Chain A
Amino acid sequence: MKNKLTLKAVLAGSLLAVLAGPSGAMAAELNLYTTREPGLIQPLLDAFTKATDIKVNTIFLKDGLTERVTSEGDKSPADVLMTVDAGNLIDLVEKGLTQGVDSAVLTETIPASLRDANGNWFALSLRARAVYADKNVDLKEITYEQLADPEWKGEICIRAGQHPYNIALIGSYIAHHGEEAAEKWLEGLKANLARKAGGGDRDVARDILGGLCDIGVANSYYIGLMGSGKGGPEQEEWAKAIKMVLPTFEGGGTQVNITGAAVARHAPNKAEAVKLLEYLVSDDAQKIYAEANFEYPVNAKATVAPLIAQYGVLKPDTIDLAKGVSFRKKASELAEKVGFDN
């Protein structure tokens, strides 16, 4: 009996002790749920707080953003939902977790192809699924289709097929050429791998430097992050060993994915939420996206960082973002079917 009392006391105490709910006296604040890594957005959020005096509380949820917001229901404190993948963002919209936003600033700044017609989601920045190549390899241009050509046998490095970056790429391939062709392509690509699919995008550069492979598939901003020295001197060496080529689909453009955001359906601070989105596409913020994160800005007035711009102008693919996303499930199944990661 006594034991149970202590148990209760401890339970109650633990509740109080850790209770750290957002109930401060600060004038305005908003709550941001994000799948974007905190280190990448913190400078932007700090600048926002400085400009508007609105405090931003954040929680980084790599996976499970949808489930968390769903379970919190109409009591959810979430105001802004931010993701690093178009698929996840559109998922949120389809599950009814977002609301339409009517903002002239947003519609005027962001091209129509990079936002939802009803204001349920907005892209904030773009990145390309690029090809990194050994500086000494003579390669000016390449198509995604050619990655499966036997001429690259044993020369390609890539991360796991099931990673969202690659799933999005395979999804776009299906959107262009259909499922059957995509399966053949994946088989061809797998046959060309220099090592088991795995690691991260930076490992592609590192492995090229090490001579494991000649080319590899990786996101465009990493070459900027590594080359800028932000990741330390070692990574600068990796970046020096490679160059970037922006591949295209035959008869299409370069596969891009977005970082985007939406206002949550039950946002308690909707006005502040819209302010944050508007701030994130402002000239100032887009400059940070471009110069600190080496992404492609959505605001036409912001320029691409020189480290990235030297590899040419990005020509985004013609296939609608939402359409590529709709093949996500198929893409993941195909990767399993051909045993891409085995």
Chain B
Amino acid sequence: MRTVSRRLSGLRWRLAALTIAAFVCLPVAALILTAFEGSAGLWPHMLRYVLPTALRETLLLLLGVGMLTTLIGTTTAWIVTAYTFPGRRFLEWGLLLPLAVPTYIIAYAYLDILHPVGAVQGALRHLLGYSSPREFRLPDIRSMWGCIFLLGLVLYPYVYLTTRSMFLTQAANLVEVSRTLGNRRHDVFRRVALPLARPAIAVGVSLALMETLNDIGASEFLGVKTLTVSIYTSWVSRSDMPGAAQISLAMLVLVIGLVLIERHARRNQRYTATAQRPRAMTPSRLTGYRAAGAFVLCITPIVLGFVAPAVYLCAEAYKRYRFAGLSDRLLGEVVNTITVSTIATVVILLCGLVVAYAARTCPGRQTAIAARISTVGYAVPGTVLALGLLMPVGAFDRLLSSGAERYLGVSVGLLLLGSGSAIVLAYCVRFMAIATGGIEAGFSRISPSLDHAARMLGQTSAGVFRRIHLPLSKPALVSAGLLIFVDCMKELPATLLLRPLNFETLATHLYGEAARGTYEEASIAALLIVAIGILPVVVLSRVGRIERRETAAPTA
């Protein structure tokens, strides 16, 4: 009897996970259908004139951003966990602040700050004794290096966040053993901490790289012709949706390939801690110029990635406020932004929990595939994903509307597109990867022997989930949830395409102004996006602190 109910429960988890995965696949399936409509003469033209540049620029950008985010993310994460020095407590959460700045906003801010006719370059010319930008100007930020620099500055927190939580829970005894074997602290970093943190770094970097790959705001603005920009061009300038679908699917295959290679490379490695709660390492104290050096090293990315654009936005918003006052629509937009993002975050977390737990409790091909598939939405450019989602969502709405008219005699309008639900759906498909990845990483540190013990003591799989996994992976859940919230809030293309009438969020407002070239009028909305983004970042920092306290406490 008991085994039957156990099997049934396993089946339920499996079914739930597969259903969620199927939902995530909907837009991709729609894209495949579109791609088959064919696009005459696209590939010869693309191969000859577009792809060579697009591939080169995309790879360069990925390489650059990957290196920059890894460098900043792991270095700062190690410094704030392995050492203690004045200002460290602020840096711990301050390093997350650039997360609140969307790529399109940092690109615009820096373009203006560093404009040849702007204040910075003007002052520089004055100092150097030149009179015109023709005689002297800094290299144009509208370039590959500018794009790498700016994207790296706002995306490194993904790596910092995942790596730091790994460093925090890395068993102290491993570090100590390494030290007693004669390694100095930075050797420990290189030889022990870094290799052990590899799954975390991989997760963080892959999130950052997916964001890079799918970025359209900053890349287009800075004139970097990535694959995603080419897809957009195909669609917009040539009304060639099948062509755009074909390129995005080709890109998706490429991304899946890369992810598989990375997974394959660490297939035989395990990273779980022991069943006992691991003891965190004790940070060593830095003083004098070493402390100052550590502080400067960590504060630099914050200043460049957050303080500079934020100060710029404040100044612009203030100018705007003096000039035109506050728009009365802003409050409604703030409410919309927070509502949709919150609902989406909750739904995504629940789906992510189901998928990740199914993969753990009933390991097997099906659940593993479900877990991988559920992350596919993150690998497709947002615009393309939204277009793909539009088809099934529209079909569902039409069906429901016709059905209601025929059988109930009432007009219900468009249920998903007419409400904000289509946006929530789009966020789910898009950001599921963050939930699944984050929760899986959290689960992976819970030793399976805990599961076995609980099951032996008579818990059902749901009981183990509730009593063991949920509490033990709380920090991972909260981090994932906050990342998702911030991402939802910044999301633009899907929100723009799938929102109902008279429905604006801060991001769509900003875009509306940006589209007509009047960024200055959007500076208040931009500032609000950054401000709302800071709140979860602050909460995130508290989670890290609690985690540290808990792990640092002596275990009985």
Q: Which of A1-41 contact B (CB under 8 A)?
A: 1-4, 6-7, 10-11, 13-15, 17-23, 31, 37-40
Q: Which of B345-390 contact A (CB under 8 A)?
A: 346-347, 350-351, 353-354, 383, 386-387, 390
Contact with A along B104-115 (1 / 0, CB 8 A): 000000010001
A68 touches B235 (CB 8 A): no
Asked if A211 meets B133 with Cβ closer than 8 Å, knowing A18-B424, A162-B233, A164-B236, the reply is: yes
A59 touches B500 (CB 8 A): yes
Residues on A with beta carbons closer than 8 Å to the beta carbon of B238: 328-329, 332-333
CB distance from B500 to the nearest CB of A (A): 6
B421 touches A14 (CB 8 A): yes
Residue among B132, B236, B354, B501 facing the most chain A CB atoms (10 A cut-off): B501
B45 touches A196 (CB 8 A): no
Residues on B with beta carbons closer than 8 Å to the beta carbon of A332: 233, 237-238
**Partner-contacting stretch, out of B170-178, B409-417, B436-444:** B409-417
- A152 and B400 CA atoms in complex are apart in Å by 61
A329 touches B239 (CB 8 A): yes
Return the chain A residue nearest B116 by Cβ.
Answer: A210
B418 touches A336 (CB 8 A): no
Q: Is residue B520 within 8 Å, beta carbon to beta carbon, of the partner chain?
A: yes
Q: Which of A248-275 contact B (CB under 8 A)?
A: none
- A68 and B241 CA atoms in complex are apart in Å by 13
Residues on B with beta carbons closer than 8 Å to the beta carbon of A14: 343, 347, 421, 424
- A320 and B529 CA atoms in complex are apart in Å by 44
- A4 and B358 CA atoms in complex are apart in Å by 13
- A22 and B413 CA atoms in complex are apart in Å by 9
Residues on B with beta carbons closer than 8 Å to the beta carbon of A60: 496, 508, 512
Q: Is residue A100 within 8 Å, beta carbon to beta carbon, of the partner chain?
A: no
Q: Is residue B459 within 8 Å, beta carbon to beta carbon, of the partner chain?
A: no
A231 touches B53 (CB 8 A): no
Residues on A with beta carbons closer than 8 Å to the beta carbon of B354: 3-4, 7
A195 touches B340 (CB 8 A): no
CB distance from A76 to the nearest CB of B (A): 8
Contact with B along A296-334 (1 / 0, CB 8 A): 000000000000000000000000000000001101110
Residue among B12, B414, B512, B518 facing the most chain A CB atoms (10 A cut-off): B518
B225 touches A342 (CB 8 A): yes
Contact with B along A211-255 (1 / 0, CB 8 A): 110000000001000000001101000000000000000000000
Asked if A67 meets B241 with Cβ closer than 8 Å, knowing A3-B350, A196-B223, A336-B49, the reply is: yes
Residues on A with beta carbons closer than 8 Å to the beta carbon of B241: 67
A1 touches B462 (CB 8 A): yes
Asked if A72 meets B394 with Cβ closer than 8 Å, knowing A198-B142, A206-B115, the reply is: yes
Residues on A with beta carbons closer than 8 Å to the beta carbon of B351: 7
Q: Is residue B398 within 8 Å, beta carbon to beta carbon, of the partner chain?
A: yes
Q: Is residue A209 within 8 Å, beta carbon to beta carbon, of the partner chain?
A: yes
Contact with A along B503-534 (1 / 0, CB 8 A): 11000100111011110110000000000000
Q: Is residue A53 within 8 Å, beta carbon to beta carbon, of the partner chain?
A: no
Residues on A with beta carbons closer than 8 Å to the beta carbon of B521: 39, 231
A37 touches B515 (CB 8 A): yes
Q: Is residue A339 within 8 Å, beta carbon to beta carbon, of the partner chain?
A: yes
A18 touches B421 (CB 8 A): yes
- A337 and B343 CA atoms in complex are apart in Å by 45
Which of B386, B413, B415, B501 is the one whose CB lies under 8 Å from A57?
B501
- A68 and B501 CA atoms in complex are apart in Å by 12
B398 touches A210 (CB 8 A): no
- A241 and B339 CA atoms in complex are apart in Å by 46
Residues on A with beta carbons closer than 8 Å to the beta carbon of B236: 63, 162, 164
Q: Is residue A143 within 8 Å, beta carbon to beta carbon, of the partner chain?
A: no
Residues on B with beta carbons closer than 8 Å to the beta carbon of A62: 496, 511, 515
Which of A39, A73, A212, A333 is the one whose CB lies under 8 Å from B516?
A39
Asked if A336 meets B45 with Cβ closer than 8 Å, knowing A67-B390, A222-B517, the reply is: yes
Q: Is residue B71 within 8 Å, beta carbon to beta carbon, of the partner chain?
A: no
Return the chain A residue nearest B344 by Cβ.
Answer: A14
Asked if A71 meets B391 with Cβ closer than 8 Å, knowing A23-B413, A209-B117, A341-B223, the reply is: yes
Which of A71, A209, A210, A339 is the one whose CB lies under 8 Å from B395?
A71
A18 touches B419 (CB 8 A): yes
B140 touches A195 (CB 8 A): yes
Residues on A with beta carbons closer than 8 Å to the beta carbon of B465: 3
A212 touches B391 (CB 8 A): no
CB distance from B291 to the nearest CB of A (A): 43
B387 touches A67 (CB 8 A): yes
Residues on A with beta carbons closer than 8 Å to the beta carbon of B221: 198
A17 touches B343 (CB 8 A): yes
Q: Is residue A119 within 8 Å, beta carbon to beta carbon, of the partner chain?
A: no
Return the chain B residue nearest A72 by Cβ.
Answer: B394
CB distance from A193 to the nearest CB of B (A): 12
- A222 and B517 CA atoms in complex are apart in Å by 10
Return the chain B residue nearest A15 by Cβ.
Answer: B421
Asked if A231 meets B518 with Cβ closer than 8 Å, knowing A18-B340, A212-B134, the reply is: yes
Which of B233, B350, B393 is the one whose CB lies under 8 Å from A7?
B350
CB distance from B35 to the nearest CB of A (A): 15
Return the chain B residue nearest A233 by Cβ.
Answer: B323
B239 touches A91 (CB 8 A): yes
Asked if A72 meets B142 with Cβ closer than 8 Å, knowing A1-B462, A31-B501, A209-B117, the reply is: no
Contact with A along B459-478 (1 / 0, CB 8 A): 00010010000000000000
Q: Is residue B401 within 8 Å, beta carbon to beta carbon, of the partner chain?
A: yes
Residue among A31, A67, A329 facing the most chain B CB atoms (10 A cut-off): A67
Residues on A with beta carbons closer than 8 Å to the beta carbon of B387: 64, 67
B223 touches A232 (CB 8 A): no
Residues on B with beta carbons closer than 8 Å to the beta carbon of A329: 237-240
Residues on A with beta carbons closer than 8 Å to the beta carbon of B323: 232
A20 touches B419 (CB 8 A): yes
Return the chain B residue nearest A29 by Cβ.
Answer: B501
A333 touches B45 (CB 8 A): yes
B49 touches A75 (CB 8 A): no
Q: Is residue B450 within 8 Å, beta carbon to beta carbon, of the partner chain?
A: no
Return the chain A residue nearest B53 by Cβ.
Answer: A342
B502 touches A59 (CB 8 A): yes
Residues on A with beta carbons closer than 8 Å to the beta carbon of B346: 10
B53 touches A339 (CB 8 A): yes
A37 touches B516 (CB 8 A): yes
- A67 and B143 CA atoms in complex are apart in Å by 32
B501 touches A39 (CB 8 A): no
B237 touches A196 (CB 8 A): no
Q: Is residue B497 within 8 Å, beta carbon to beta carbon, of the partner chain?
A: yes
Return the chain B residue nearest A13 by Cβ.
Answer: B343
Residues on A with beta carbons closer than 8 Å to the beta carbon of B391: 71
- A200 and B220 CA atoms in complex are apart in Å by 12
Q: Is residue A66 within 8 Å, beta carbon to beta carbon, of the partner chain?
A: yes
A20 touches B140 (CB 8 A): no
Q: Give the interface of A toward B (CB within 8 A).
A: 1-4, 6-7, 10-11, 13-15, 17-23, 31, 37-40, 57-64, 66-68, 70-77, 91, 160, 162, 164, 167, 195-202, 206-207, 209-212, 222, 231-232, 234, 328-329, 331-333, 336-337, 339, 341-342
Besides the known contacts A21-B413, A232-B520, 14 further A-B residue pairs in the complex with CB atoms under 8 A apart? A2-B462, A3-B465, A7-B347, A10-B346, A13-B343, A14-B421, A63-B236, A70-B394, A72-B417, A75-B401, A164-B237, A196-B143, A232-B319, A336-B49
Sample 25 A-B pairs with CB under 8 A, ordered by A number: A4-B12, A6-B350, A14-B343, A18-B419, A20-B419, A21-B414, A37-B513, A60-B512, A61-B496, A61-B497, A64-B390, A77-B418, A160-B220, A160-B223, A195-B140, A196-B140, A198-B223, A202-B517, A210-B115, A210-B117, A210-B132, A232-B319, A232-B320, A328-B239, A336-B45
5 A-B pairs closest in CB distance: A71-B394, A18-B420, A210-B117, A332-B237, A200-B517
